[in-house]
Structure 1
C-alpha cells in the first residue's frame, strides 16, 4: 500500500514531505506504531531523490516523531495525537429526529457495555462452556467448501433453502409450530425479525399493544417507528387481553415464558388473545425467545399452532440457544406479511451471512443442535433448582420466586422493606452482578425484584454468590 503524499513543484520537497508527514502524525491519521516505507521505496514512489526523503525522516526523528529499529525499519513513535480544531458545523435539519433516536438506548444495551462481575446473574446469556466448538468448526469448514463450489452471486433475502428447511423441521419437532420452509424468513437475530415485521406494519400513529412489564428493545423499536404504544398489564395468567384497545394493529407477546416475569400464558387467555386479534384484524408477534428449555409439566404449545386465521408471526433465535455471537434468528410469517418482510430484508442488508447459514443448516441437520439443547437442559435445570432452593430457603425472608417452567432466567419479587436498587449497588461491590426488574416496567406499577439469569453462571458459583447476597441483605436488615 502506498503512502498518500502529494508534492507540488520541485522546490522545498523535503520540507513539503516533512510537513505532510507531521500533519498526519499529529492528527492521528498516521497511527502510532505504523511502519513507514524505506527511504529508497518512498523516493521511487514520489519521484524524488532518496536524499530528500532521508532529510524529512531525519527531521521527524529529531522531533521524536519517528524511531528506527535496526533490521526492521522506521516507525511512528507512540504519542497523543493533536487534533486539529474542528470547523464550525452547520446544524442538521434532521437534528430533532436524530435526538429522538439517540434517546432510544435501552437498559439491555447499556448492560452489554458493563464489565461483568465475578458472579454474574445476567439474563439472556447462554453458557459458552457447553457450546460444541469442534462440531461448529467442522460445519464452518463445510460452509467454506460450499462457498468455493457456489457459482451464483445472488442469494435470496428469505434465506438459504436448506436452512429454512432445517428450521421448519426443528421448530415443528421442538415447539409444535405448523409451517413449511416457504413460511420461514432467516434474520440477523430475533431483533431484526421484530424490526422487519414492525417496519412493514407500523406507521406513525397506529396502535401497537405489548406486555407491561415487557421487552425494552421491542418497546423502543415500536416507539421509534412512531407507534402509539399501549402498555397492557399482565397478571399470573399472562396478558390481560380484555384491555387491548380497539384499533390496535399489532400485538407483541411472549406467551410461553413472559419476559421478564417468567409465567406462561394460560390456555384460556391464549384463545382469548387469538379471538381478540381476529376481531381487530391485528397481527400477533409471538416472541418464543428461550422456550426450548422446559423443566416441568407438559410443554405449552406455541400460540402459532392454535392460529387458524394467519394472524401469528412466530419469532425465534439461535443467539440464546447457541451463542449470542451467532446473530441468526428467524420468523415464521403469514403469507400476507412474508413478501413485504422479504422486501424489507433485501433493502436492509440483502440477506443474512450465507457462510453462517450453510454452517447452521449443517449443524442442525447432523443433530448437533438437539444434542446441544439436551446437554444445556441438564446444566440449566441444575442451576435453576439451586437458585429456587435458595429462594425458598435462606433468601425467603426477602424474596418470592415467580413460578416459571421454561427458559434460563427466573424472577424473584422483593418483599416489603427490601431496597432492591441499594442491594444491587452493594452486591456489585462484593463482585455479584444482580439486575433489577424495574427497567422493564413502563406504565404499570413497578414490582420491585430481581431478574436472575442462570445461563452464564456456573453451578458451583451460585451458592458463593447467593451467600454474599444473603449476607448483604442481613446487613441491610
Structure 2
C-alpha cells in the first residue's frame, strides 16, 4: 500500500520515518495486520538509502508497532484496542452563533437504541422496495450516465415527475418547472437560501416538523410557531410580518389532520395579501386509506405564492435521497443558482433509473402494493386506539400516511411511557418532541404519542401494541 511520509526540513531521517509510521498506526490509518511497504520500495520512493528505512522499521518492531514474517513482509502488530484515538488539534476556530445553536439543539436529541419494534413516524418498510427491479434499472442507467448533470435534474426525470404528480396530485407543472433535489430537506434548504435574509420571519406549524424549523433558523430566520387545529394551520394566528409559511396541508405532521379547503383558500389569500411565500411539503400524500385527497395548495394557487416540495423517501427508500421542487417561475432562476452552488446536481444514474421506474408504471404499481400493506397496519393501530387504549388516549382521525397520533388523557405520564417503552424495546416519540419550545401539557395542548407503523409488520404490530397497552396503564 502507499504510505505518505514527508522528509522535508531538517532532522534525522530515520527518526522521522519512525515517528510518521508510528503515528499512522496510532491514528488508525494503518490497521492491525496490514502490510507496510517493503523497505526497498519505501526507500526508493523517499530517495533515501534502504538502511535508513530498515533502521526505522527495526525500531518499530522493537517497540511492538510492527512485526516481520519470514518470506511475507512486515506487518502492523498493534491491535486496534491498543491504538489511541489521536485526533487533530481542537483549534480556536468557532462556528457562527446560529450554527453553534443548531448543533447544540441537534446534539440534545436523544439517541434511539436498537429496538425490537420501531414505531417512530416517517420510516417506510425497506423490505417492500423492489430492489431487484431497481438494480436492473440502475445498471442500465449507469451505462449512459453523463459526467455532470443539469442542476435542475435530468430532463426525462423532470418530465416523468411532472406527469406523475400531475395525474396523482393535480399539481400544475411542466418538465421545466421541476427541480430535482436530494430529498425534501434539501428542497427546504434551497427555499430558505433564496427567500431568507437574517431576521426574516418564517411561520411553521406547532406541533410540526423539527428539521424544517432548524433549517430555517440556521439560515438566519426568526421562526414563529403557529398553532394547528382540526382544520390545519390557524391562518388567523399567522404573524403579519411572516414572509415564508411552511405547511404540511395534506397530512399535517405530526397530528395527521388534513387542512380543510376553506383553510387552504384562507392561507392562499393571506399569502397574496401579505406578499408571503408558502412552502407546501406534500411528504406522504401517496398513501391514502379512505376519502378523496384534497387538492394541494399548489393546484389552487393563482398568484404564484406556493413552492411545492415532494419526495420519494417514503414511496421508495430514504437512502436514495431523491426529491423535487415545483416553484413558481419567478423563483426558478435563484433556486437553480443555489442548487448549482450547493452540490451542482443529483447523481445522474439514480435519476435515470427513477425516470424509467416512473415511465414504466412501476412507481404507480409499487404505491398501490405498499398502500394495501400499510392500510392493514393502519387499521390495527386505529383499532387498538379505539379499543384497549381508549381509556388513556384519543385517536386523532387520519386516513393517510405512515403514522397516527394519540392524544393522552391528563393522567397519562407520556414521557414516562416513552421511556419505559424504549426500555422494553419499542422506539416511540412523544408529541412534546414536535413542539418548538418548552412544552407543558394542558387541556388545550395535550401531550400524546406519535405512532408510526411503516417498519413493523402486521404480524408484529399486535405484540408492539400490547406492550404499549401494558406500559401505559397506571402504575400499580
If the length of structure 2 is used for normalisation, what is the TM-score?
0.92
Matched pairs, number: 469
C-alpha deviation, 1:278, in angstroms: 1.3
**Residue 194 of structure 1, aligned match among 151, 175, 188:** 188
Please list the CA deviations of residues 178-210 of structure 1 after superposition, one character each: whole Å capped at 9, or x if unmatched. Answer: 111111111110011111111111112222212
The 5-angstrom pairing of residues 200-239 of structure 1 reads 200-239=194-233
Distance of 2:451 and 2:408 partners within structure 1: 13
Shift of 1:90: 3.7
The answer as to whether partners of 1:237 and 1:263 remain within 8 angstroms in 2 is yes
Alpha-carbon contact 1:106-1:216 (below 8 Å) kept: no
Compute the displacement of 1:358 (Å): 1.0
Task: Show the counterpart of 2:357.
Answer: 363
2:79 maps to 1:81: no
Give the corresponding residue for 1:99. Answer: 100
Q: Deviation per CA, 1:52-110, whole angstroms, max 9, x where unpaired?
A: 43343233222111123466432212243346797684455x55354234234287xx4
Task: Give the conservation status (yes or no) of the 8 Å contact 1:158–1:186.
Answer: yes
Quote the residue 1:36 is aligned against.
36
Q: Tell me how far 1:363 sits from its aligned partner.
A: 1.2
User: How many Å separate the matches in 2 of 1:10 and 1:198?
Assistant: 52
Deviation at 1:438, TM superposition (A): 0.4
Instruction: Note if 1:326 corresponds to 2:320.
Output: yes
1:437 corresponds to 2:431: yes
Counterparts in 2 of 1:317 and 1:106: CA distance versus 1, 3 Å = farther
Question: Could you tell me how far 1:273 is from its partner in structure 2?
Answer: 1.0
Equivalents in 2 of 1:242, 1:13: separation in Å?
Answer: 75
Look up the match of 1:120.
118
Query: How far apart, in 1, do the equivalents of 2:412 and 2:11 lie?
Result: 78
Partner SS, residue 460 of structure 1: coil
For residues 76 and 270 of structure 1, the distance between their equivalents in structure 2, rounded to whole angstroms, comes to: 66
1-structure distance, mates of 2:11, 2:183: 59
- In structure 1, the residue corresponding to 2:292 is in which secondary structure? coil
Question: In the alignment, is residue 132 of structure 1 matched against residue 130 of structure 2?
Answer: yes
> How many Å separate the matches in 1 of 2:231 and 2:74?
70
Is contact 1:106-1:220 (8 Å) kept?
no
Corresponding residue to 1:295 among 289, 292, 307 = 289
Distance (Å, rounded) in 2 between the aligned partners of 1:95 and 1:211? 26
* Unmatched tracts of structure 1, length 5 or more: none
> What's the counterpart of residue 467 of structure 1?
466
Deviations 1:409-435 (A, max 9, x none): 110111120001101111112211221
How has the CA–CA distance of structure 1 residues 11 and 231 changed in structure 2, closer, same or farther, with 3 Å as cutoff? closer
CA-atom RMSD, angstroms? 2.4
Residues of 2 paired with 1:9 and 1:205: CA distance? 51
Instruction: After TM superposition, give the deviation of residue 120 of structure 1 in Å.
Output: 1.2
Deviation of 1:338 (Å): 1.1
Alignment match, 1:348: 342
Equivalent residue of 2:106, what SS? coil
1:65 is aligned to 2:65: yes
Q: Offset of 1:392 from its aligned partner?
A: 1.1
